[in-house]
Structure 1
C-alpha cells in the first residue's frame, strides 16, 4: 500500500497509459483500489476522460467564511468496473438489491402492561344506526329507450323490409326498426300473417292483399 509523507495511507492508485507514437487522445486511465471492505467490491476501474460537461471551478472557504477560487476543472472522469471485475460488480449489485427488498420487522416488548393500551378509548368509534335501504325502482324494459315512429312512416318501412325478404321474425324486425315491441306486434297484426307451422314457422309474412299491392303502390292499413 502506498503511503503519503504526511497523512493517512493512500487507498488507491491511478495508472496512466500513454502511447508515445500516437497522439494523446489514446491515453488510458485505470484506477486500482489497494484495499476494500468487502470482497465483492471491484478493485480495478476504467476511467473515461472527457471534456463534455458544464464548466466548473474549485472553491475553498477560510475559517472567516471567505470563498476563494482555487482552480478550474477541465476534464471529467467516468468510472466503471473493469471487465475483469464485472462478475464481482454484479454480485455486489445483486446483494444490495436483495438487502433493500427484504422487509425488516421490529418487535417491541411493553413493560408493565396492564392492558390499558389495548382497550378502546371513548370517541375511538361510534355506533351508527342502521341505514334504511333505498327502495329500488321498477326495472325499465328494453322498449323504454325506443322512440315510437309515426304509423304511416312505419308502414312504409315495413313494406320496404318485406320487399327485401318475404319472412321476418319479431326479433329481427325490432332490431331493424328499433321500435317498441308492443307497437310492432300491433302493426304486424294488421299487416302480416304469423306462420305457426311449416318451413317458415315462427316468422311473419305480408297478408295476400298487401303482397299484391307492394308490386304497385304501397297502401295504408288505415
Structure 2
C-alpha cells in the first residue's frame, strides 16, 4: 500500500493519511511512568539499546537473546538508568499512527515485536529513592475538613435526624402477660387414689394413661406406681396401650354387689 489515502464522511473530503511507511516494522516499547515523564522533554538521545546474543544457544530459545536499555540523562532525581526489556514476539497485529501539530496523520509502520521495560536492579539507590517519593506522595491526605458556618442542617444532604418531624404520641406495643406456670398436681393418699381407680374401672374396663391422669388429676409417676400394683398394661392386641384391672381385682358374677373389689378374699 502506498500513496495518500483520503477519508470521506458524509460527502466531505477528510484529512489525508500518509501510508508510505505502513509496511515498516516497528518495535513497541511499554515504559514506566517515570521514564515516560522524563521523555516528555526528550534529550537529543533517548537511550542506548544493547543486544546480547548467545552464539552457542538455541536460536528458537528466547532466553538466548537479551535486550538492555541505558536511558540517557544525568538528572539525579530521575529514574534508574538501566532497564531490562522483556521481549514478546507474538503480538496482536496493529499499526502505529502519528499526527503533526498541523493535523497531518501518517502511518509509521506495523508492530513486529513488543517489549516491557523494567528496572535491571531493584536495589538501585535512585530507583529506591523514587519509590520512597511515590509512597510519601500517596500518604499525603488530599481531603480536608471544613467547618460550616450554617450548622442548622438545612443545607446538608441527607438532613440530620433532628430536623425530621417526630410523632406527637409514642405508640407503645401492648406487653403480653407472662405465661403462668402450670399448677402442680397434689398427691392424694394411696388408699384414696386406689378407690378412685376402682370406681373408674367400674365405668369401663380399659383406660389409657392419659385418660387416667385427666380423671384422677394425680402426678404421673405416682399414678403409674399404683397402676402397676392394680392393673395390667396391654402391650398388644385390640386394647394395646391401655390398662385393665388384674383378674384378682375384677368383680365376678358370684360376687356380692356390696363386696369390696380391693379385697379378692372377701366373698358374698
Report the equivalent of 2:175. 138
Equivalents in 1 of 2:125, 2:116: separation in Å?
A: 20
Task: State the secondary structure of the residue aligned to 1:75.
Answer: strand
Q: Does 1:32 align with 2:70?
A: yes
Please give the residue correspondences for 1:39-118 in structure 2 after superposition, counting only pairs within 5 Å: 39=77, 41-61=79-99, 67-83=105-121, 85=123, 89-90=127-128, 92-104=130-142, 118=149
**Which residue of 2 is the match for residue 20 of structure 1?**
55
Corresponding residue SS for 2:210: helix
Stretch deviating more after TM superposition (9-18 or 62-71): 62-71
CA shift for structure 1 position 29: 0.6
Q: 1:27–1:192: structure 2 CA closer, same or farther, 3 Å change rule?
A: same
Could you tell me whether the CA contact under 8 Å between 1:57 and 1:70 is conserved in 2?
yes
The match for 1:197 is: none
State whether residues 210 and 219 of structure 1, in contact with CA within 8 Å, keep that contact through their aligned partners in structure 2: no
Query: Deviations for 1:156-193, whole angstroms, at most 9, x for unmatched residues?
Result: 9xx9xxxxxxxxxxxxxxxxxxxxxxxxxx86983525
CA–CA separation in structure 2 for the residues paired with 1:93 and 1:105: 23
Shift of residue 27, structure 1, vs aligned partner: 1.6
Change (3 A) 1:90 1:140: farther
- 2:225 aligned with 1:208: yes
2:200 corresponds to 1:192: no
Q: Report the secondary structure of 2:92's partner residue.
A: coil
Distance of 1:187 and 1:86 partners within structure 2: 94
How many aligned residue pairs are there? 160
On the 8 A contact 1:42/1:85 being kept in 2, the answer is no
* Higher relative contact order, structure no. (Cα contacts within 8 Å, ≥ 6 residues apart): 2
More helix by share: 1
Counterpart check, 1:218 vs 2:218:
no
SS at match of 1:207: helix
Aligned to 1:128: 165
| Counterparts in 2 of 1:122 and 1:71: CA distance versus 1, 3 Å | closer
State the structure with more CA Rg.
2
Give the CA deviation at 1:49. Answer: 0.9
Q: Offset of 1:134 from its aligned partner?
A: 2.0
Shift of 1:38: 5.1
The 3 A distance-change label for structure 1 pair 140 and 34 is farther
In structure 1, what is the equivalent of residue 210 of structure 2?
A: 155
What is the Cα-based RMSD across aligned positions, in Å?
Answer: 4.5
Q: How far apart, in 2, do the equivalents of 1:61 and 1:153 lie?
A: 103
**More displaced 10-residue stretch of structure 1: 55-64 or 23-32:** 55-64
